[in-house]
Structure 1
Amino acid sequence: MQLPETPPPPKRGFFSSLRTNFLTGLAVIAPIGLTAWLIWTVVGWIDGWVLPFIPSAYNPVLLIREYTGIAVDIRGLGVATFLVFTVIVGWIAKGLIGRSMIKWADSLVLSIPGVRTIYSGLKQIVDTVVSQGERNFDKACLVQYPRKGIWAIAFISTNAKGEIQAQTEKEMVSIFMPTTPNPTSGFLLFVPKEDVTILEMTVEDAAKLVISAGLVYPNPDDPSKAPAVLPSPAQDAAE
């Protein structure tokens, strides 16, 4: 018996192809354009905030205008000046005299009522951000949360220490379980080390998985590294 021939797929119209090409081009251009616009805007904002504080004798915009005679607004001069100034301050602060000056300035500011609360809060926030930049999460992992049988992605911070470990019989680890789609918020959990399943994926790949709500999986083109696909209920019934 001769099987009927499969009809060819219908040809796409001109406007349909045009729409597809437009959406494809938009998907390529939009991330690049938005990134460039964001960088350009942030650099301009920093320039507008930094340059007015620089004395006229050292302001790079005025110096360029004086020696070249060209009144050109070069974006990024404020950023470069801020980076150089920050590096110099950091280099001075690492010395004995710099540490003494910083300690004296801290004690002076903390002795002012009202200002003390604002300064201590901002200092704590900055110290937390800087310490997070220097220390990263070790590995990504799976933990059963909020109940047994339900798994959630988390990041291992460190092994539990001090009173936290002393109050428990098992070896504990501190983990951070982020929320979707904002991974900067989440929960700090202390979990027995034996209940933590270490993942081979990197912390960056696990963060992408959390941010995308499970839509972006790491290594999708490599079956040996891709996450296992759970069988559907129909397949379970067939087996």
Structure 2
Amino acid sequence: MARLRNYFLTGFIVCAPLAITAWITWSFMQWTDSWVKPYIPTQFLPDSYLPFAIPGFGLIVALMIITMIGFLTANFIGRTIVKWGETVLGRMPLVRTVYTALKQIFETVLADRSSSFKTAGLMEYPRKGVWAIVLIATTAKGEVAKVLSDQGEEMLAVFMPPTPNPTSGFLMFVPKEDVRILKMSIEQALKLVVSSGLVTGDEKTAPMTQAEAERVIEEHERREAAE
């Protein structure tokens, strides 16, 4: 019975990510098709000539349009049009705030690797002796660097992602000496955060057993009693 249970869990671990990925991909394709296809003339829709619908056709058209817009924006005329459009949006109070915030978010997320997180590290938080994973963004610049210049040390801007959702977190400016640089990549550091420490790079670590947990707690209590 235990062997069957292990077989089931192994199969579930293999199938679940594949099924969820396929479902998300299919749902995204259908959602894109429902938005794009109504605006495509009937004579250009394969559905009009075939006895079945082609899933993802709307997504392909959307990708082509976005790529074409990017191509046009890269030249002088396109940049002029975009600049004029941003000027118009900049005169609308509420729209200006939303557009500027969204633009900054997308520029940050889709930025070139040279300007995105490149290094992971460890920093003592929330108290001495407790270490947390941080992503190092850059050195402190601008007004922040001027205000912190009295620290006498180079300050780093670090982002601390929480477990298991690394999309939120804390931005902190800390002395460079307080951060220990890790050799692991950003992807490996995020895997470590999302998995609650169970996945270290390409290696998987088994969860701590009850006996090991009790031993750690006992050692901690002994240290506190000795202090």
Q: Distance in 2 between matches of 1:184 and 1:65?
A: 39
1:39 aligns with 2:25: yes
Cα-to-partner distance string for 1:103-144 (whole Å, 9 max, x where unaligned): 2223334445xxx41354134213322332224212110111
Matched AA of 1:54: I
Q: Pick from 155, 164, 169 the counterpart of residue 186 of structure 1.
A: 169
Q: How many residues are paired up? A: 204
Higher relative contact order (CA 8 A, sep 6+): 2
* Residue matched to 1:9: none
CA RMSD across the alignment: 2.4
State whether residues 192 and 199 of structure 2, in contact with CA within 8 Å, keep that contact through their aligned partners in structure 1.
yes
Change (3 A) 1:119 1:72: farther
In structure 1, stretches of 5+ residues that fail to align are 1-14, 222-230
What runs of 5+ residues in structure 2 fail to find an aligned partner? 205-214, 223-227
1:198 to 2:181 alignment: yes
Determine the C-alpha separation between the residues in 2 that align with 1:194 and 1:215.
28
CA contact (8 A) 1:144 1:151 kept: yes
Moved over 6 A (4+): none
Q: Following the alignment from structure 2 to structure 1, what is the Cα–Cα distance between the partners of residues 39 and 167? A: 33
Partner of 1:8: none
* Equivalent position amino acid for 2:103 in 1: V
The aligned counterpart of 1:6 is: none
Return the letter of the residue paired with 1:76.
G
Question: TM-score, normalising length from structure 2?
Answer: 0.80
Answer yes or no: is the 8 Å Cα contact 1:138–1:158 preserved in 2. no
Render the CA deviation track for 1:62-117: whole Å, top value 9, x for unaligned: xx355xx32321011111111111111111112111122122223334445xxx41
Instruction: Quote the Cα distance in structure 1 between the aligned partners of 2:79 and 2:203.
Output: 51
How much has 1:17 moved relative to structure 2?
3.5
Quickly say closer, same or farther: Cα 1:85–1:183, change in 2 above 3 A: same
In structure 2, the CA distance between the partners of 1:158 and 1:20, relative to structure 1 (3 Å rule), is same
Structure 2 residue 79 is matched with structure 1 residue 99: yes
* 8 Å contact from structure 1 (residues 142, 199) kept in 2: yes
Aligned to 1:22: 8
Return the match for 2:101 from 104, 118, 124: 124
> Could you say if the C-alpha distance between residues 26 and 122 of structure 1 is closer, same or farther in structure 2, counting changes exceeding 3 Å?
same
Residue pair 2:122, 2:132 contacting (<8 A) in 1 also = yes
- Partners of 2:60 and 2:75 in 1: CA distance: 24
Structure-1 separation of matches of 2:39 and 2:176: 52
In the TM superposition, 1:123-202 aligns within 5 A as: 123-134=100-111, 135-167=115-147, 168=149, 169-202=152-185
Letter in 2 for 1:162: G
Q: Which has the larger share of helix?
A: 2
Distance in 2, matches of 1:65 and 1:184, equals 39
How big is the shift at 1:16?
4.2
Instruction: Report the CA distance shift for 1:26/1:49 in structure 2 as closer, same or farther (over 3 A).
Output: same
Give the CA deviation at 1:219: 4.8
Amino acid at match of 1:141: G
Give TM-score scaled by structure 1 length. 0.76
Q: Which region of structure 1 is more displaced relative to structure 2, 118-127 or 19-28?
A: 118-127
Equivalent-residue separation in structure 2 for 1:120 and 1:195 (angstroms): 36
Question: Are the counterparts in 1 of residues 162 and 169 from structure 2 also a CA contact under 8 Å?
Answer: yes
